[in-house]
Amino acid sequence: MGAGHVGTKREQTATGKPRNTGPQDARAHLRRLRRIIAAAGPFVVAAYVAAAALHVPGEVASAATTVAAPLDDATATANATATAPTSTTTTTTTTTAATTTDPDSDSDSDSDTGAGAGVDASAAEEAATVTSLPTTFTSVQEPLLDLEMGLESATGRLDLSIEEASVTIPRVLGTWLSDSSITVGRHVHKWGPGLSGSLLLSGSAPLDGITVSAGTGSFRYVQVAAARDAARARWVLAHRIEGQVIPGVEVGVSEAVAVSGGFRLKPYYLIPGCPYHLSQYLSLLDDRSQDWWTNVLAAVDASVAISPRIRLYGEFLADDFPWAASARGRVPYMIGALAGFELDAPLGLEPCRGAVEYVRINNYVYSHKNPENAFVGADGRLIGHPLGPDADAVYLFVTCPIELGKTGILRDIQATGRLGYERHGEGKVGHPWDPSEGVAHEFLSGTVETRTSLALGVKAGPGWKFPDLFGSPRSTLEFGVAIESVGNAGHVPSAQTLEVSMRVSLRLSLAP
């Protein structure tokens, strides 16, 4: 989102790219951001391992060092297999089509235990002092390694993807905030209550980077710095605060900024809780061209339990607004909204849950006058809601647990059925608004394509126990199949097609 009057910002699209007064300095700042992201992960892991060696028994410190080892190169999944014997049989992991770009994370840590009983008095005193120094890490728990891959088959294609390859270090600020963590690597983020996805970060596209989170009481703050496409110097910064304001009412506020090319990283972009809209405004005071290199989106969501069985929820996203009165009627509202309700035991089907959800996303949302700042990942997948812009949809969900008994090959089985109806206009991500279009194409433009879908998904854990050779492995198997009837296919009047897709994935978590 540009600062100030939205019409002015979007009108600049038609006149061409604004003058960049300092591209070389901007690239230098971007390279510095990349170095920060690449260097912070190994530093945190090394600090944790060193602290663990000072505060926990030797065998736990050894296990922590083993978990850190997979970060030594970009192929974290393959190295995790070589490091942990149990992962040899379970490192097949999750979901949709993706071009994989694993994060470069290097781990270099040396752990030294305290001085032995045979040291002299001064050495013993020094060792005791060193042991008491890193009190911040006294409550740090062992790292958690997450691996997730998947195989997806859709009409005309077969794709294998790596959706998650990350290390999470919990309670890094245990002295002050017990609910804190740092995650380094490829991670999937979903912010908000929507079942079909979320409007800002939907979980449909993994991101390579660093996630820091901290919570206290009823509230939690999360901040993300990640690559959308590292090879092309395209990044995303995002943060969110969420919590329970009163019993039964939860609220979340989120922001994200997509940056590229000549973006100049200013300190206020990294200050926890500092609004990105304010950061963008401050950067524009120094360099107006930064409006070309930044695209800010904001979202707010809420969930209300109106009874023990019924929950209402919603989310609103703003990309751009016709802020000035003079722009209304000629500049479209580039917004999205999601609303739904969830019901326990619908029609007496206990212990099942049912939900109905509606999503609407106006045209031009997720796009930007600079095509490099479209809200997509390296493989073109939307970071926002998978429905995409210029579309709306209504979904019906029913989720039920399935019991196979203690002797079954699967346990904790959960099946979800989804019936959906979608309408898609001809707008698409990467096509920014042009003043010549006015508001005529604000929603469901051109020939509208319709999609009626029926999908079934099953999620379960294995019924067997993994060998306890590397901590406590946990895994989740997911299978999904969907059938879609497409009307006006490809926005061609009267064209009809039938599409079938299938997905198999496995998620593996390793904790010493």
Which residues, 6 or more positions from 309, have their beta carbon under 8 angstroms from its beta carbon? 343, 344, 345
Q: Cis before residue 351, ω within 30 degrees of 0? A: yes
Torsion of CA 258, 204, 222, 371, to 10 degrees: 0
User: Are 442 and 335 in contact, with CB atoms under 8 Å apart?
Assistant: no
| Predicted confidence pLDDT, tens digits, the chain (512 residues) | 544 333 333 333 333 333 344 445 545 544 544 444 444 444 334 433 333 333 333 333 333 333 333 333 333 333 333 333 333 333 333 333 333 334 333 434 343 434 344 434 444 444 333 333 333 333 444 566 777 777 777 656 677 778 888 888 887 776 677 688 899 999 889 999 999 999 999 988 889 999 999 988 789 999 999 999 988 989 999 999 999 999 999 999 999 999 998 898 888 898 999 999 999 999 889 889 898 999 999 999 999 999 989 999 999 999 987 877 777 888 899 999 999 999 987 776 778 999 999 999 999 999 999 999 999 988 888 999 999 999 999 999 999 988 776 656 778 889 999 999 999 999 999 888 888 888 889 999 999 999 999 999 999 887 666 665 555 667 888 999 999 999 999 999 999 999 999 988 888 777 65
CA atoms within 13 A of residue 464's CA, in its CB half-sphere: 6
Find where tokens 């690449």 sit.
38
Q: What would the two tokens of residue 395 be? A: 């979904």
Confidence at residue 338, expressed as pLDDT on a 0 to 100 scale? 98
**Residues in contact with 137: Cβ distance below 8 Å, sequence separation at least 6, in sequence order:** 47, 48, 51, 52, 55, 172, 174
Structure tokens at 272: 């926890």
Closest CA to 224 of 185, 263, 176: 185
∠ CA 447-11-24, nearest 5°, is 115
> Could you tell me which of 266, 254, 327 has the C-alpha nearest to residue 293?
266
Give the chain's domains with CATH numbers: 6-510 (2.40.160)
Res 394: pLDDT: 98
Q: Which residues pair with 260 in a beta bridge?
A: 234
Specify the pLDDT at position 135.
35
